Amino acid sequence: MPTSDDVIRDTPCGLLRGRRQEGVTAFLRVPYAAPPTGERRFAPPAPAWAGERDAARPGPIPPQLTSRLSRVMGDPPVPQDEDCLHLDIWVPDGADPSQPAPVLAFIHGGAFMTGGGSLPMYRGHELARRTGLVVVNISYRLGILGFLPIPGLAPANLGLQDQIAALRWIHSGIAGLGGDPGAVTLAGQSAGGYTIATLMACPATQGLFQRAVVMSAPLGLSLPTADDSAALCAALFRTLDLPSGDPGALRQLPVEALLQAQGRLAREWASTLANVSPPFVPVADGEWIRGEPLDALLDGTASPCPAIFGYTREEMAAFYAGDARLAEAADLIVQDRFGQRHGSRAEVELALARARRSPGDALAVLGDLGTRELFASPAIAAGRARQARGHDTYLYRFDWQSPLPGYGACHCIDLPFLFGNLDDWRESPMVNTADRAETTGLSHVFQDLIAAFARTGRPAGPALPPWPACDHDALLSFDRLLTLGQLPADPTAH
């Protein structure tokens, strides 16, 4: 029976019954496509439901194993289900069809194998309440189910196709909930940021979003070739002891069997120490993705929309901290990598790298190298190239560091500050012992800048710190004290 806190809104797909609490109405587990289950496992997203739907209860996350970053972010117990193609939407009071609010649509990270828009740490209530934005979280298929082309069964980039279907739902349906379909900012972190870069170069997304916030995207990674995907697919059939000539057998397997096989393949893929590249990623298929996303950002074929690119100062610490095997082998690995990159100058360059960092141990230097090559240098290069073409682009580096020794300003450290829901991060080791007044204050500044950008395409306002675009060679550092830094003349030396 409806209560006074129930809110019913009409959308092109039918009536949604949400729940209002503390100035925000949540519409949860809103399907944007039909369940990809049964015969629809490995099928492209299809139109969703029609009719009235209860949208007051949280939905599941896509099927997955434990995240490799659970020791950093925590590992909240959340139900999983293949029926995961849904949106979680938070609408602030004051946003209605007569006064639509800007929309921030978030794509989660997780190496294309873990995560979900329904995870409590991504709850958008506080972000919507403080900023007045309509916040939308997108869940999509992961791992084998979303990012492994299987001849005769699964087309390439199903997870990416899911995200595009979600953006189409937002474009057609968000106005009925009080959001402005003409003011959609697409934000994403890590794998989510990487897919935003691919979506910026995808013709199918034209008109579906107007601004982009790309957080800690590993744009230094290269897309796999067709041969890479074929080899991974063959390895999957071997692991499952299935004949490769019967791809339909994968549709009949319990999802648990697919996950266990996925875990074995991921471990084999990452058998080299310090390798953090995931095995299941988007593929340049010529249709949805025509080439490397970084190339599109550099050569001007990506969307000219205003964009923010950001990274954290010590991205790799999230992957390396606490890894005893890697710490033991770090000296040899870092010597080998510097030798490959600098040849006869390797010893001098390594000494300089150690001198620039405290502590200057091999693991920290190795982390700096990975941060620079995978995250920082590509972001800076993309920002400069876009700005040179007149495409407003802003850069940030998150320097606030975890109180936990060894984690520094690691990968994912900016997420709690974006969502501002610090209570939902109480199980996350990287932030759970931090001073609450300090984290709350920095969160408000970060949120307000992102909200200003979502409204106008510029992260600026009378009560906000200055953040010039890339044509000023400026990079905004988020820390206890916000400062403007100068971009390096050579991004590869950053």
Between CA 320 and CA 262, with CA 61 as vertex, the angle to 5 degrees is: 55
Burial 99-130, CB ≥16 within 10 A → b, else e: ebbbbbbbbbbbbbbbbbbbbbbbbbbbbbbb
pLDDT of residue 56: 94
- Cα separation of 102 and 398, whole Å? 25
User: Taking the CB of residue 82, how many other CB atoms lie within 10 A of it?
Assistant: 18
Rg (Cα) of the chain, in Å, rounded?
A: 22
Q: Does residue 492 have a pLDDT over 50? A: no
Q: Is 190:109 a contact under the CB 8 Å cutoff?
A: yes
Classify 469 as helix, strand or coil: coil
- Cα separation of 448 and 460, whole Å? 9
CATH, residue 149: 3.40.50.1820
In a domain, 78, yes or no: yes
Q: Is 311:406 a contact under the CB 8 Å cutoff?
A: no
| Token pair listed for 304 | 């000219």
Residue with tokens 């990287």: 430
- Cα separation of 29 and 86, whole Å? 5
Q: Which segment of 20-24, 73-77, 253-257, 289-293 scores lowest on mean pLDDT?
A: 73-77
Q: Which residues are catalytic?
A: 190, 315, 411
pLDDT of residue 1: 42
Cα-based distances in Å from 146 to 249, 285, 372: 17, 14, 29
pLDDT of residue 400: 97
Residues 6+ apart with CB under 8 A from 312: 216, 371, 375, 397, 398, 399, 409, 410, 411, 412, 413, 414
Q: Does residue 357 have a pLDDT over 90? A: no
How many structural domains is the chain composed of?
A: 1
Q: 152-193: per-residue pLDDT in tens?
A: 999 999 999 999 999 999 999 999 999 999 999 999 999 999
**pTM for the structure as a whole:** 0.95
Q: Does residue 149 have a pLDDT over 80? A: yes
Q: Does residue 235 have a pLDDT over 50? A: yes
In a domain, 115, yes or no: yes
In a domain, 263, yes or no: no
In a domain, 246, yes or no: no
In a domain, 310, yes or no: yes
In a domain, 244, yes or no: no
Interaxial angle between packed helices 324-342 and 346-355, expressed in degrees from 0 to 180 and rounded to the nearest 10: 130
- Cα separation of 32 and 165, whole Å? 7
Q: 243-285: per-residue pLDDT in tens?
A: 888 889 999 999 999 999 999 999 887 765 556 788 899 999 9
pLDDT of residue 26: 97
In a domain, 379, yes or no: yes
Q: 28-73: per-residue pLDDT in tens?
A: 999 999 999 999 999 999 998 788 899 999 999 999 999 988 888 8
- Cα separation of 250 and 173, whole Å? 34
Q: What are phi and psi of 365, to 5 degrees?
A: -65, -40
User: Taking the CB of residue 251, how many other CB atoms lie within 10 A of it?
Assistant: 16
- Cα separation of 314 and 364, whole Å? 9
Range of the domain at 125: 6-224+282-322+370-493
pLDDT of residue 401: 95
- Cα separation of 430 and 434, whole Å? 8
pLDDT of residue 278: 87
Residues 6+ apart with CB under 8 A from 463: 448
| Token pair listed for 238 | 């071997």
In a domain, 69, yes or no: yes
| Token pair listed for 162 | 């899911």
pLDDT of residue 328: 85
